Structure 1
Amino acid sequence: MKLIIAIVQDEDAPKLIDVLMENNYSITKLASTGGFLKSGNTTLLIGVEKEKVDEVIKIIKEFCQSRKQVTTSPSLTTVSSGVYVPYTVEVQVGGATIFVVDVDRFEKI
């Protein structure tokens, strides 16, 4: 058995969860926060048999496409007067970060 840990952007999560559940995958959903943008993410824990890992990753890829977003930088620049001014930056968001780990033991009580 494998545990898939998928970190996806909040806006991608609802449709992804619906499709995974329609395909009979059990999911545990956790709220999480990204480091750079401090924006909301959803972390999904999906336990599957080894043979199903590629199928789940294919579904995740279909619904979690990366895209560009303009945002205000969390770090500030200093202008000559000593005032800190935020600046805009274009960043890549979306997509998914996926970890697949072995499960030594699984019990459903």
Structure 2
Amino acid sequence: MKLILAILSNEDSSTASRALTEKKFQVTKLNTTGGFLRAGNTTLMIGCEDEDVQEAIELIKESSRKRSELIPSSAGYDMGRYMSFPIEVQVGGATIFVLDVEQFLKI
């Protein structure tokens, strides 16, 4: 048995969760916060059999898309004032961890 931890943007989490539950995967959603952009995201916890891992990953991949966003950034001090300009960063997609489960109990 495996535990899949998939970290997605909030925008993609409902689509991914719906796709997984339609294929009978049991999904638990956790609201989490990313460290770099300090933006809200969602972590999905999916328990499944070893042979179902690749299907779950494909469903997550199909539901998660990368996109660009502009975020404000300070460039430094110039001529008595701070300069600020937006920086384009890649957001979205998914970060997926697949872990071995030693024991699973549903009590």
Cα-to-partner distance string for 1:4-49 (whole Å, 9 max, x where unaligned): 0000000000111111111111111111111111111100100000
Unaligned runs of at least 5 residues, structure 1: none
Shift of 1:80: 2.9
Tell me which residue corresponds to 1:51.
51
Cα distance change, pair 33–84 in 1 and its aligned pair in 2 (3 A): farther
Tell me which residue corresponds to 2:2.
2
- Provide the TM-score with structure 2 as the length reference: 0.92
Amino acid at match of 2:59: I
Q: Is 2:17 the counterpart of 1:17?
A: yes
Q: Is 2:67 the counterpart of 1:92?
A: no
Cα distance change, pair 82–43 in 1 and its aligned pair in 2 (3 A): farther
Q: Report matched runs for 1:30-109 at 5 Å.
A: 30-73=30-73, 76-80=74-78, 83-109=81-107
SS at match of 1:79: strand
- Provide the TM-score with structure 1 as the length reference: 0.90
Q: 1:87 and 1:38 mapped to 2: Cα distance?
A: 18
- Cα RMSD between the aligned structures? 1.3
Amino acid at match of 1:80: D
Q: 1:16 and 1:22 mapped to 2: Cα distance?
A: 10
Q: 1:99 and 1:87 mapped to 2: Cα distance?
A: 35
SS at match of 1:36: coil
Shift of 1:85: 4.1
Amino acid at match of 1:40: G
Shift of 1:77: 3.0
Q: 1:102 and 1:45 mapped to 2: Cα distance?
A: 13
